[in-house]
Amino acid sequence: MMNTKEKDSQYIMHTYGRYNVALKSGKGATAYDEDGKKYVDVASGIGVNSLGWCEDGWVKAVSEQANTIQHMSNYFYCPQASNLAEKLCTLTGFSKVCFGNSGAEANECAIKVARKYSFDKYGADRNEIITLNNSFHGRTVTTLSATGQDVFHNYFFPFTQGFAYVDANDMNALENAVTDKTCAVMLELIQGEGGVNILDKDYVQSLVKFCNEKDILVIVDEVQTGAGRTGKLFAFQNFEVKPDIFTVAKGIGGGLPIGLCVCGEKLKDVMSPSTHGTTFGANPVVCAGANYVLDKISKPEFLSEVESKGKYIEEKVLKMDGVKAVRRMGLMIGIELKDGDAHDIAAKCVENGLIIITAKSLLRMLPPLNITKEEIDLALDILEKTLKEN
């Protein structure tokens, strides 16, 4: 009989390099593999299990909903989806939500909203979207196009037209790239996959001001930074700007697939029946989980703990051998190493019982937002030991 790894190799397309571990169960920030070995987790999947593994209230919300009504088509009203949309709009001061199932889909929706707004107002030619070099916006053909990294622009030609790329933190470059065809700028405020690059606050504020004046829409991709990760509900609140559209996915479902595109007053009526949709979007089980997550993480005490836990981790990590610098906002943490390959070190950490991820040449932590002090200390002990071995 084949084991999990052998079956995976034989029957699953090899789109991922995996660690040699098959996870079986988890609680909080602790998981166990098929052999019973224990791991402490500072990755949350990739920023997905925002309340850790199998948090009691989340499990209850999801299982009760699964036992009540598990799906309905989008031709019916769904109370869980309406509640989630209302909550999100009320908490952020935004106006309307469109539901999907992933970060890439949320960004696709944002791109469609931006292009339709511009089409309705200025005609078909004003359709170009500027994104930043080193960004990451997803794996569909259009969001690969939006992603400002050449390595992603391969194999799958032809890519979607209408994207231009500029360096982050360079207002001149942005101003020079804008033409009368530009309809939007799309950016992450912290480039997650790109190496936890925190954009300059001044730049972000100037960019929003500049775009507002030209009726160029600002789309903030909060797929990774959203849902409490940076110590505010959304990172744009840390940067003190209000985009026209933001997208959120990963952490907001607490472990179930969801992607939301959220727009402000100006765009709330751009999309009309049959301009967008997806079968599984606004699924009641997923929304029940997300409602639970949002209730929990939106409390000011909870968010301030996200920041204080992040600060605690930063201070301890900075004292470790082999660490050059830490890039951090809330519990979104990139660790610059003096030397050594981040992927090798992450693999050694996993062997030593710490689940940690990488971003370019950095180690990256996206711990469960409710991780305990004990779990943090255990994780940091393993990291320190692993860095010493390196």
Cβ-based nearer residue to ligand PLP, 103 or 264 = 103
Q: Which of 41, 128, 221, 244 binds ligand PLP (CB under 6 A)?
A: 221
Cβ-based nearer residue to ligand PLP, 134 or 224 = 224
Say if residue 33 carries a ligand binding annotation.
no
Report which of 296, 240, 307 is spatially closest to residue 52, judged by C-alpha positions. Answer: 296
Cβ-based nearer residue to ligand PLP, 41 or 221 = 221
Q: How far apart are CA 225 and CA 106, in angstroms?
A: 14
Instruction: Write out the binding residues for ligand PLP, residues 26-85 only, by CB under 6 A.
Output: none
224 lies in the binding site for ligand PLP (CB under 6 A): yes
Angstrom distances, CA of residue 186 to CA of 114, 176, 251: 10, 16, 20
Q: How far apart are CA 6 and CA 28, in angstroms?
A: 29
Q: How far apart are CA 347 and CA 386, in angstroms?
A: 10
Q: Which of 58, 94, 136, 239 binds ligand PLP (CB under 6 A)?
A: 136
CB of 377 to ligand PLP, least distance (A): 28
148 lies in the binding site for ligand PLP (CB under 6 A): no
Say if residue 125 carries a ligand binding annotation.
no
Q: Which of 26, 100, 138, 284 binds ligand PLP (CB under 6 A)?
A: 138
Say if residue 237 carries a ligand binding annotation.
no
Say if residue 279 carries a ligand binding annotation.
yes
DSSP state of 152: G
Bridge partners, residue 184, by sequence = 129, 217
Strand runs labelled E in 65-159: 96-100, 128-132
Q: Is 112 exposed, middle or buried (0-12, 13-18, 19+ CB in 10 A)?
A: middle
Q: How far apart are CA 222 and CA 386, in angstroms?
A: 32
Q: Which of 31, 84, 223, 333 binds ligand PLP (CB under 6 A)?
A: 223
Question: ω into residue 158 within 30 of 0, thus cis?
Answer: yes
What residue is closest to ligand PLP based on CB?
103
What are 52's two structure tokens?
């850790």
Extract the annotated binding site for pyridoxal 5'-phosphate: 103-104, 136, 221-224, 279
Binding site, annotated residues: 103-104, 136, 139, 221-224, 278-279
Binding site for ligand PLP (CB under 6 A): 102-104, 107, 136-138, 188, 192-193, 221, 223-224, 249-250
